[in-house]
Structure 1
Amino acid sequence: MTPAVESATRIGPAEDRVVRTFAGFIGATALLFAVLLAPGAIKLSDIIPSWWTAIAAILVVVPILSLWPASRATDPRWIGRCVTAAAAGYLVSLVSWLFLVDGHIPANRDVWLATFPGLVSMATALRWRPAASLTYLAVSAGTAELVRYVTRENQQKVVLPVEIVSVIVYSALFVVATIAAVSTGRALDRAIRASVQHSASSAAIAARDIERGRFHALIHDRVMSTLLALSRLGNTPDLRDQAASAVTELDRLRNSNVADEDLDVRTAVGLIRAALVQVDGDVPVEVDIDPQSADVPRAATRSIASAAAEALRHSFRQADADRIIVIDACPLGLRVVVADNGGGLEQVPAPELDVEAAFGLRQRMAASDGCAYAVKSEPGRGTQVVLTWTRPVPDRDAA
């Protein structure tokens, strides 16, 4: 991969969506160009060898036309490969034309090869850095105009530098628009990542507050009550057991790894509610906790808390929506539902997977084992974001 090409491994979901959309559009446009320009290309066989025309079509049209299926490929690197092949093939074809052309065409006819610099440069903007794409536009457009100049007859009155600048400026409008669209998708991905990090930091702060509250409660309920009873009743066997229990609990807190320790379900629910309150404290929250509920891993709790906060934050973009949050805990796991009755996703014509990616749910929930998510939306009926953690089932065979 050349230094001018952006690494596909760093592409986020929003940028990938923009790139695929533009790649499909450019590929379809190349097909239209091929259909319209084919008759004129065939007529040029009297000044350029037919075998060269066939090779040039393969080098230029086929790679850029392949962007259409590449936009639907699972591996996004296919787009970059097609872009690089089209860019290289186009320059090779332009330069070889200058050496192989033998004759002229009337001034009112065009050279089919000279119509592609803008389209190929738009394609490079999908994967190359902006400076590289604009440089390629200047080189390819200048060479294409030179091809026109040497191929047409009666070009004495044509000012070649002016023609080159005109083509570059005109094509640059489309290339810059492509660069801006890709940059917007990249900026959205950065905003999503920053939001994920902020939510994780907020959840960590809330977790520390909860741990501090647990420590204060232990001091008040165990230590202070033991000392108060000792001052009143003296040393008794029951007080000795109570004191030993308090010391054991303090040792457990001191020696435990707070970052990895599982949370009891009420503490986990408290952490999730703390993250939601930071977004809005007025949204009603319904909590149903089964007494037999399992402890929840701290990482899963943080993932659900940050994802629920982001889903609630997204819900507030619906101006007149009512919202409710439901938290259910049972022996099998934990479920959080963030629901509203707003307009749904009727103004977002994207597949469900892309909507989930826009919420940032994929990154958040994928960070913890056992976590899953679903987005259910109907235009005019609202949106539900369902976040779950499922308790792992012990392997009986391994036991």
Structure 2
Amino acid sequence: MIASSMLDAPRSALFERLRAHGGRVEAPVREPTLGVAASDRIQRRMGLVIGIGGTLAAVVELPEILSESIGVSIGWIALTMLLTFGLCPVLAVVSVRMRSQVIAAVAAAAATGFLLASVVAPFAYRVPAEDMASLWLYRLLVLGVLMAVLAWPPRYAVAYLILGSTVVTIANVFVVQRVSTWTVVGDFSRAMGLAALFLWCAIYARAAAARVDRESALESRRAAAVAGAAARDRERARFAALIHDAVLSTLLDASRAGTESPVLRRQAERTLGQLDEARGGDIEPDLLDAQSAIGFLRVAVHELNEGIDFSARRWPGFDDLRLPVAAASAIAAALAEAVRNSLRHAGVPGQVVRRAVTVTVSAGGIRVVFRDDGVGFEMGRVSPDRLGISVSILGRMRQLSGGAGFVESALGDGTTVTLVWGSDG
């Protein structure tokens, strides 16, 4: 049985929507997600361009393919074209909406299909053509190489380039008449040289996107660190001024007066009021914007374990978020405690436990979800003296104005910890 805990909190608009929809809000604006945004965008755009380009190539090359395939069975023509172009429109479609893993899988299948088509070609074109200068597959090697760049790491894409150049050159030998050693060497060199140019451009584009991702992650960490340091410095200065101007002067007047006086009483009451306001954080709160808040939480997680997946989503108006540093610190501390609990207790013998943090930001608040697929537990059986959940997570979020915390877990089904903060305005 799934056990959950809910805490009372001020009912901001964001908080109400999160409780009503389980954290799902209409019309999301998808990330760019920190750490993967540029890589994800370049992969999607390359997949869309390559998919559309391959589909157009099939239409443009069809008359030439048919003229070169006189005497070849229509079944062989259909098979080679299906292996070469069949997945191109599929790649274009999945590149619009699907995850990067799906795009890579479709591209890998398309690249493999091109190699298979080149292997099949000599069986289809059994009689060398008299007027054919080169097999149509030889001219489309670039398509297969671009698919390989989209699907695999650079070293495998380079290996595909060498293998593909070899296979299409051999297929050309079987299909084209008047072949000599020099023509074979020339065909291989031309095929590999032209495809290598496109290979280098595609690899460079993906590497540049990866560099942008790394710099964005570093910049967000710097922004969070600078914001936190500035907030601490301002807080120290504010308390130093309060101690000097109010507390010390009150104590000094009290030591001099020797007897009770209305002026001293009013001064003491005013000082106590200032201390209460300072403790409540109502004086000039330091605020983090969406980027700094996400970076702040990312650092809190990755300081404990850099292998935990961290992603962020932004809803409409996320630029308007202003998260007090005190609230960010409370959320980060509760999140860190959830991560520590998972690292200590969620392990399953012989199984790799997956852990992930998802931060969702909107104009009025922030929602943080930590999930693992570990051993799980039953909330009702947690000992009262175990303070990690009741105090360090739920209790901390209860004390945070506008905050709430939820814990869901079941034996064998992992654990989900949800932390929500919403502004009152």
TM-score (norm 1): 0.59
2:59 partner amino acid: V
Percent sequence identity is 27
Q: For residue 202 of structure 1, report the CA deviation from its aligned partner.
A: 0.5
Query: Cα deviation per residue 1:303-352 (whole Å; 9 max; x = unaligned)?
Result: xxxxxxxxxxxxxxxxxxxxxxxxxxxxxxxxxxxxxxxxxxxxxxxxxx
Quote the Cα distance in structure 2 between the aligned partners of 1:32 and 1:299. Answer: 56
Quote the Cα distance in structure 2 between the aligned partners of 1:367 and 1:207. Answer: 23
Q: Contact conserved, 1:107 with 1:154, CA < 8 A, in 2?
A: no
- Which residue of 2 is the match for residue 298 of structure 1? 325
Quote the Cα distance in structure 1 between the aligned partners of 2:151 and 2:237. Answer: 51
- Which residue of 1 is the match for residue 160 of structure 2? 136
Q: Contact conserved, 1:299 with 1:368, CA < 8 A, in 2?
A: no
Q: For residue 45 of structure 1, report the CA deviation from its aligned partner.
A: 4.7
Instruction: Report whether the alignment pairs 1:152 with 2:176.
Output: yes
Quote the Cα distance in structure 2 between the aligned partners of 1:69 and 1:231. Answer: 80
Query: Cα deviation per residue 1:181-201 (whole Å; 9 max; x = unaligned)?
Result: 122122122222221111111
- Which residue of 1 is the match for residue 76 of structure 2? 52
Note closer, same or farther for the CA distance 1:299–1:96 as it changes in structure 2 (3 Å cut): farther
The structure 1 residue matched to 2:236, chosen from 207, 212, 220, is: 212
Q: Contact conserved, 2:52 with 2:89, CA < 8 A, in 1?
A: yes
User: Within 5 Å, which residues of 2 pair with 1:278-293?
Assistant: none
Instruction: Report whether the alignment pairs 1:366 with 2:361.
Output: yes
- Which residue of 2 is the match for residue 187 of structure 1? 211
2:286 partner amino acid: A
Query: Cα deviation per residue 1:17-67 (whole Å; 9 max; x = unaligned)?
Result: 322332232223212321232233334555644223212222220212333
Quote the Cα distance in structure 1 between the aligned partners of 2:68 and 2:166. Answer: 21
TM-score (norm 2): 0.56
SS of residue paired to 1:125: helix
Q: For residue 268 of structure 1, report the CA deviation from its aligned partner.
A: 2.8
Moved over 6 A (4+): 240-253, 299-302
The structure 1 residue matched to 2:127, chosen from 103, 112, 133, is: 103
Note closer, same or farther for the CA distance 1:235–1:138 as it changes in structure 2 (3 Å cut): farther
1:298 partner amino acid: V
Q: For residue 152 of structure 1, report the CA deviation from its aligned partner.
A: 0.7
Q: Contact conserved, 2:47 with 2:95, CA < 8 A, in 1?
A: yes
Q: Contact conserved, 1:300 with 1:369, CA < 8 A, in 2?
A: no
Q: Contact conserved, 2:364 with 2:423, CA < 8 A, in 1?
A: no
Quote the Cα distance in structure 2 between the aligned partners of 1:221 and 1:88. Answer: 76
Note closer, same or farther for the CA distance 1:47–1:95 as it changes in structure 2 (3 Å cut): farther
Q: Contact conserved, 2:34 with 2:213, CA < 8 A, in 1?
A: no
Q: Contact conserved, 1:125 with 1:179, CA < 8 A, in 2?
A: yes
Instruction: Report whether the alignment pairs 1:264 with 2:282.
Output: yes
Q: For residue 140 of structure 1, report the CA deviation from its aligned partner.
A: 0.8
2:241 partner amino acid: A
- Which residue of 1 is the match for residue 197 of structure 2? 173
The structure 2 residue matched to 1:203, chosen from 227, 231, 237, is: 227
- Which residue of 2 is the match for residue 391 of structure 1? 423
Superposition CA RMSD, Å: 3.8
- Which residue of 1 is the match for residue 149 of structure 2? 125
Q: Contact conserved, 1:28 with 1:65, CA < 8 A, in 2?
A: yes
Quote the Cα distance in structure 2 between the aligned partners of 1:98 and 1:79. Answer: 30
Quote the Cα distance in structure 2 between the aligned partners of 1:10 and 1:147. Answer: 45
Q: Contact conserved, 1:300 with 1:371, CA < 8 A, in 2?
A: no
